[in-house]
Each structure stands twice: as C-alpha cells, then as structure tokens.
C-alpha cells in the first residue's frame, strides 16, 4: 500500500473512463478491464472495503490506514459496461458519484466535449491548436499572470500535461460557460461531429442508476450541472446545485433524502460555502481529488475533514503495474 509524502494514507481510489475493443474507445486517462484488474491486485483486494463498510468505519473513526474504497465519478457509461462486471465478479461494492442533470433531460456537454477531442483528432494537441485558432485571442499574458494556478494544477493533477492544464485554465477562468460552449459547437460543426450519434454510449441512464443501487453500490452527489469550478459560484447557486442533485437522485432511487450521505467534489472544486451547504443537507462524507495538502482550501492535513477525504487517481498506479 502506498503512502504519500506527508506520511498520511489516502483512503479513496478515483476512476473515470474505461475502454474496450468494442464500444468504448481509448482516450486520455482511460484504462482497460485488464489494467483495472491489475490496479486492484496492486492495491490488494484485502485492503479494499465495500462502500457501506468504509462509510461505517470512517464515521466510527476506526478505519485502518491501509483500508481504501473504490470511487467512480461523472456517470460515465463505460463504468457500467466495463468496470461493473469486474467489481461484481470480485464482490466489491463501490461509491458512484453522479451529476443529476443527465437524468433531468439535459445533455452532459462536459463528457460530449471530452469524447469529441479524444476521438476526432489524431492527438489531443491537434484539438488544442484548433481550439486556440477558433478562440483567436492572444492569451500569453493571461498564462503568465496565472503561472501559480498552472503550477498548482500540475502539482495537484500530475497526470495532466501543461497543455491540458492551460486548456482547462482558458475553459474555466478566461471564458464563461456560454463562450466556451459556443467555440466547441463551432469546432464540432466544422468537423461534422453529431453528438447524438454517440451520446447513449457516453452517459448513465436511470436504469443504470437503479441497477447499481439494486446491486448494493452506494450512489452519491456530484452536483447537478457538474460546474468545473463550483467554488466560483455564489452560495445560493451552489446550494441549488446540490439540493437539485439530492432531490433528483432521491426520486429516482425512491429513497428519502436523508439516506444519501456521501458525495465527491466535481473537478475537486469547493470552498467553505460548499462544505457548509453539504453539512446542512445532511451529507457527512465527501471526497476530494488530491493526496496533498491544499492550503488554499484551508487544509492543515490529509483527510482534512469528513468532507475532504483524500483520493488517489487511478493513473498514479499504472506506473507500478
């Protein structure tokens, strides 16, 4: 079991995308079934707790340093098609953190845009070049002014290249949501990409959520619209994001709202308002995206609070396989 530089164990392993040779194409950060199995072997199945056991032990403060849980974010369909059969065969129950807009008639453009840039360009940097051509603005000064942001992101997410981070900086801070989406729609139009032909293989539907629940996995909040920087939203807008997510998931699962007690922060973004809102909603377990101490969040230690449980990205294990 790995230990981080501050001699504190992480307690969550974070997964997103999977690929196979059939429906789900290989993309940045995606892993195959075989690699998933190797990661579990590397962690040691004896160290992996079922989600309900992890939740109970964490709340009772008797979680051992070597004990971890598996978590899946973003309601990505490949998790159902590729990862779920593996964890069912191994009898491991996991956390699935989902944004609720995908069950409310909205399109998850964050996932659509990712699929597009990963699958319709020879290299992701080819996409970035075209993106900046469409942006058609000199952003060199903006990058220089945000060197600290870039360096912090690279430290927090070492699996990203500097070009990945710069793109996210433009997407999240330089442009607003409408400006970014307008550029993406123009690029997709030029490339003759119709997301409707691909959408069903990208995102959960309600039956997937019900299947996970029936199998004993735990469903948690991941906001409604999955803002990439929810910490930049007002208190009221953040509150709406999580209240709506809680309401929709509770209705689908036919559970009372107080039965959903867990969440993960979308893109690892949150602030003190977020934590206060989650507490008021009865959420008492939350996962972050980092295994380091983020002083900008007021952290003084790893696993800083019950709503800031450390997670290690699955990509960190690949080099050890």
Q: What is the pLDDT of residue 226?
A: 95
Angle at 60 between CA 97 and CA 46, to 5 degrees: 65
The Cα 130–Cα 92 span in angstroms is 42
In whole angstroms, what is the distance from residue 71 CA to residue 190 CA? 37
Helices and strands (H and E) in the chain: how many: 14, 7
pLDDT, one tens digit per residue, over 54-105 is 999 999 999 998 899 999 999 999 999 999 999 999 999 999 999 999 999 8
CA 287 distance to own-chain centroid = 10
Instruction: Tell whether the model's pLDDT for residue 1 goes beyond 50.
Output: no
- pLDDT higher than threshold 50 for residue 106: yes
Rounded CA separation 309/264 (Å):
9
Query: What is the distance between the alpha carbons of residues 283 and 242, in angstroms, rounded to a whole number?
Result: 10
Over residues 215-253, the pLDDT tens digits come to: 999 999 999 999 999 999 999 999 999 999 999 999 999
Are 219 and 260 in contact by the 8 Å Cβ rule? The answer is: yes
Gap between the Cα atoms of 36 and 303, Å rounded: 25
Q: Which two tokens stand for residue 183?
A: 């550029």
pLDDT at 212: 98
Summarised one tens digit per residue, pLDDT across range 173-221 is 999 999 999 999 999 999 999 999 999 899 999 999 999 999 999 999 9
The arrangement of strands across the sheet holding 69-73 comes to 285-287, 262-264, 218-221, 95-98, 69-73, 12-15, 311-313
pLDDT at 232: 94
Residue 7, pLDDT > 70, answer: no
Say how far residue 180 (Cα) sits from the centre of its chain. 20
User: d(Cα 117, Cα 108) in Å, to the nearest integer?
Assistant: 15
Q: What is the pLDDT of residues 8-24, one digit of tens each?
A: 567 999 999 999 988 99
pLDDT greater at residue 133 or residue 317? 133
**Segment 135-151, tens digit of pLDDT:** 999 999 999 999 999 99
Domains in the chain with CATH codes: 12-107+203-318 (3.20.20.370), 121-192 (no CATH)
CA 151/CA 165 separation, integer angstroms: 9
pLDDT digits (tens, 9 = 90+) for 248-297: 999 999 988 889 999 999 999 999 999 999 999 999 999 998 877 888 88
**pLDDT tens for each residue of 31-58:** 999 999 999 999 999 999 999 999 999 9
User: CB of 49 within 8 A of CB of 69?
Assistant: yes
């Amino acid at each position: 079991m790995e230990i981080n530089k501050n001699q504190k164990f992480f307690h969550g392993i974070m997964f997103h995308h999977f690929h196979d040779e059939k429906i789900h194409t290989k993309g940045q950060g995606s892993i195959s079934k075989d690699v998933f199995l190797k990661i579990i072997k590397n962690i040691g199945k004896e160290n992996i707790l079922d989600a309900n056991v992890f939740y109970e032990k964490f709340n009772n403060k008797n979680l051992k340093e070597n004990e971890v849980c598996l978590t899946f974010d973003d309601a990505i369909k490949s998790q159902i098609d590729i990862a779920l059969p593996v964890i069912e065969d191994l009898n491991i129950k996991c956390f699935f953190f989902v944004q609720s807009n995908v069950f409310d008639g909205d399109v998850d453009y964050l996932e659509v845009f990712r699929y597009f840039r990963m699958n319709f360009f020879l290299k992701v940097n080819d996409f970035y070049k075209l993106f900046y051509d469409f942006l058609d603005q000199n952003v060199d000064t903006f990058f220089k002014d945000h060197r600290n942001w870039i360096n912090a992101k690279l430290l927090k997410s070492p699996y990203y290249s500097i070009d990945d981070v710069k793109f996210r900086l433009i997407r999240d801070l330089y442009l607003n949501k409408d400006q970014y989406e307008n550029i993406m729609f123009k690029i997709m139009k030029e490339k003759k990409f119709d997301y409707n032909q691909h959408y069903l293989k990208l995102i959960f539907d309600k039956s997937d959520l019900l299947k996970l629940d029936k199998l004993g996995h735990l469903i948690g909040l991941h906001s409604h619209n999955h803002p990439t920087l929810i910490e930049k939203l007002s208190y009221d807008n953040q509150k709406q994001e999580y209240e709506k997510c809680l309401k929709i998931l509770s209705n689908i699962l036919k559970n009372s709202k107080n039965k959903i007690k867990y969440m993960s922060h979308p893109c690892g973004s949150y602030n003190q308002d977020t934590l206060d809102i989650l507490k008021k909603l009865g959420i008492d377990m939350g996962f972050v995206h980092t295994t380091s101490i983020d002083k900008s969040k007021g952290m003084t230690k790893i696993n800083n609070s019950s709503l800031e449980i450390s997670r290690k990205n699955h990509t960190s294990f690949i080099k050890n396989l």
